[in-house]
Amino acid sequence: MIVFDRKLDVARGRIDLSHGAGGRATTRLAHDIFYPAFANDLLAAGNDQAVFASPAARLAMSTDSYVVSPLFFPGGDIGALAVNGTINDLAMGGAQPLYLSASFIIEEGFPFADLRLIAESMGAAARAAGAMIVTGDTKVVERGKADGVFITTTGVGAVAPEVELSGERARPGDCVILSGGLGEHGVAVMIARQNLGFGAGIASDCAALHELTASMIAVAGPSIRLMRDPTRGGLAATLNEIAQQSQVGFKISEAEIPVKPAVAAVCELLGLDPLNVANEGKLVAIVDPVAAPALIEAMRAHPLGQDAAAIGTVIEDRHRYVQMETKFGGRRIVDWLSGEQLPRIC
């Protein structure tokens, strides 16, 4: 349950898939290797983006590498994902995206046609968000030394003046709001990867959330403690991460958490918990409860927030547990996975 149960065995241990899963092992890796080596407070704050002062306005900068497999899936592709994902990390910091970089690591033998499709998808996603991909790089490695194409995007955006968002700002009594149904991205990629014959009609929720966040900030800016998009590791990882950062617990209600019936059915069939499955167009906001009703109303007025719901509350808990009241009236602890449920999901 707790992040800091075991020190990393730096001398003898090895990377395994769990270190890229966005859960505990990823946090462990960052704390034991990257934070000490890079040694600065902005990084150590543990947010998905760094927010720093610039002469006239605050800028946010965020980066992500994308290694999703397969590269094309219902509802998106690695290109749209790479642009929207980084835009979302900026948006979660209260920023509107401005400039993006894109760097490609491509396996020898990768078809131009696929690369063009991906690049066009990136350009379209950037334009739709009013952002520009202004610089980039391409590296090629030998056949068998990468898997098709990996993309790293970095974004810089302007942070709204009226917000102060950070992972350690949740406090007991705060309301937990989720912008919409869980699990669509992860399930869509899984179905595409395995060529499953079911789940028709399920598409990734891959989308840019900066307009939704702008409308949220307009309504309730100073009352929003933090926002985060539940990507790798799903809602479970996101809440557990915030619990650690803010030193709180969560109490959420399964009945309030939106999951589309088709997604729920596939998850049941595959043995997946929607709480652990990645999303690429959803956000969690932790807000002052006084502001919650107006905020949810504003979110529901936006196409990407129409299923927004209050799903729980921040509580005091020295164990930093995420507790969930189940639909059947029981109670369970929602842990983040210690291993990797769905590798290469983004």
Q: What residues between 133 and 172 interact with a copy of itself by CB under 8 A?
A: 133-142, 144-147, 150, 152, 154, 156
* Minimal distance, residue 153 CB to a copy of itself, in Å: 9
Dihedral (Cα; 64, 69, 71, 77), 10-degree rounding:
-60
* Minimal distance, residue 28 CB to a copy of itself, in Å: 10
Task: Determine if 128 is a binding residue for a copy of itself (CB under 8 A).
Answer: no
For tokens 């950062």, the residue is 245
* Minimal distance, residue 197 CB to a copy of itself, in Å: 25
Q: Looking at 6, 7, 17, 130, which residue binds a copy of itself (CB under 8 A)?
A: 17
* Minimal distance, residue 296 CB to a copy of itself, in Å: 30
Report the C-alpha gap between 334 and 1 in whole angstroms. Answer: 9
Report the C-alpha gap between 5 and 28 in whole angstroms. Answer: 9
* Minimal distance, residue 319 CB to a copy of itself, in Å: 27
Stretch that binds a copy of itself, among 94-102, 169-177, 207-215, 294-302 (CB under 8 A): 94-102
CA-based diameter of the chain, in Å? 57
User: Which tokens sit at 99?
Assistant: 């400039």
Give me the 288-317 binding string for a copy of itself, x by CB under 8 A, dash otherwise. Answer: ------------------------------
Q: Looking at 2, 4, 7, 127, which residue binds a copy of itself (CB under 8 A)?
A: 127
Q: Looking at 4, 6, 7, 13, which residue binds a copy of itself (CB under 8 A)?
A: 13
Burial tier of 201 (Cβ tally within 10 Å: 0-12, 13-18, 19+): exposed
* Minimal distance, residue 232 CB to a copy of itself, in Å: 9
Report the C-alpha gap between 94 and 166 in whole angstroms. Answer: 10
Closer by beta carbon to a copy of itself, 3 or else 105: 105
Site for a copy of itself in 63-92 (CB under 8 A): 63-67
Report the C-alpha gap between 286 and 130 in whole angstroms. Answer: 27
Kindly give the pairing relationship between strand 76-77 and strand 95-107. unpaired
Site for a copy of itself in 260-289 (CB under 8 A): none
Helix axes 184-194, 261-270, angle to 10 degrees: 50
* Minimal distance, residue 62 CB to a copy of itself, in Å: 5
Task: Determine if 333 is a binding residue for a copy of itself (CB under 8 A).
Answer: no
* Minimal distance, residue 18 CB to a copy of itself, in Å: 8
Stretch that binds a copy of itself, among 45-53, 165-173, 250-258, 281-289 (CB under 8 A): 45-53
Dihedral (Cα; 75, 86, 175, 52), 10-degree rounding:
-170
Site for a copy of itself in 98-117 (CB under 8 A): 99, 101-113, 115-116
Q: Looking at 70, 221, 289, 343, which residue binds a copy of itself (CB under 8 A)?
A: 343
Closer by beta carbon to a copy of itself, 139 or else 331: 139
Task: Determine if 30 is a binding residue for a copy of itself (CB under 8 A).
Answer: yes
* Minimal distance, residue 335 CB to a copy of itself, in Å: 20
DSSP 25-90: HHHHHIIIIIHHHH--HHHHT--SSEEE--SSS-EEEEEEEE--SSSEETTEEHHHHHHHHHHHHH
CB 159 within 8 A of CB 58: yes
Q: State whether residue 257 is helix, strand or coil.
A: coil
* Minimal distance, residue 144 CB to a copy of itself, in Å: 7
User: Which tokens sit at 148?
Assistant: 């098709």
The torsion region of residue 208 among left (phi > 0), alpha (psi -120 to 50) and beta comes to: beta
Report the C-alpha gap between 118 and 338 in whole angstroms. Answer: 32
